[in-house]
Amino acid sequence: MASLQCLPGDPSILPLKDKDSQEYFFSSDSDDMATSDKADAIKDKDKLDPEVLKDLEKHQYLMRQAIDVAEEALAGGETPVACVLVYDGAVVARGMNDTNRSLNGTRHAEFLAISEFLSKFPASKLRETDLYVTVEPCIMCASALRQYGIRCVYYGCGNDRFGGNGSVLAVHSDKGLEAGYKSYGGIFRKEAIMLLRRFYIQENENAPNPRAKGNRELKQVV
């Protein structure tokens, strides 16, 4: 994803320059419902796939662990995107966004989690491993996950500017040399969005496109 190079503030998940996304990071996940069509679209995002509903309690438990890691990132002034890798039913690796601290645009949560995983297991075990991540993987991460052969990805909210699991490109399922992987979104979608809102509403010098925020309020409803 050379053309989408990440700079401080992680432009791979930057908001667009419109009213909704200036506040809420992902334009289609804004709660500024100008039309009934928009409202219906948001409702659709809250619908979970039947495959997820079959074992919802397990998926929520694992996504909650990713949310907890994202909370740690937020507390440290980092963009609150995080993930866990689950192998043989257990969380074996974690990752949080590290682009602001490191000034290295490749240090996305997924890459750091994979690095930890590979320090414990051979790469072939990723084919038996699932990823739970708070935000849909960007195109760069989605491609890496496919090349490593991840078994399945579960994510919280979509990434409508750089999403690689269907929001922009379907890197996970398009025809290619490597086998694709299944992907399901919407697990704790609202919680994931609220973490991002909290990051942008606070006085945070790491947030991209800094603006005067003294009169801004955190909207609690997604």
Helix (H, G, I), strand (E, B) or coil at 82: strand
| Angle CA 4–21–49, to nearest 5 | 85
Catalytic site positions: 110
Name every residue whose Cβ is closer than 8 Å to that of residue 196 and which is 6 or more positions away in sequence.
13, 24, 25, 26, 79, 80, 81, 135, 157
Tokens of 178: 């490597």
CATH of the domain at 161: 3.40.140.10
Domain range enclosing 145: 51-197
Residue 21 included in any domain: no
Residue 207 included in any domain: no
Residue 214 included in any domain: no
Helix (H) / strand (E) element for 86: namely strand 82-87
Question: What residue type is 185 in one-letter code?
Answer: G
Give the mean model confidence (pLDDT) for residues 61-79: 96
pLDDT in tens, 127-157: 999 999 999 999 999 999 999 999 999 999 9
Residue 137 included in any domain: yes
Residue 22 included in any domain: no
Q: Select, from the ranges 1-10, 89-98, 201-210, the one with the highest average predicted confidence (pLDDT).
A: 89-98
pTM over 0.75? The answer is yes
Does 105 have pLDDT greater than 70? yes
11/192: higher pLDDT: 192
Residue 97 included in any domain: yes
Residue 185 included in any domain: yes
Number of domains in the chain: 1
Residue 91 included in any domain: yes
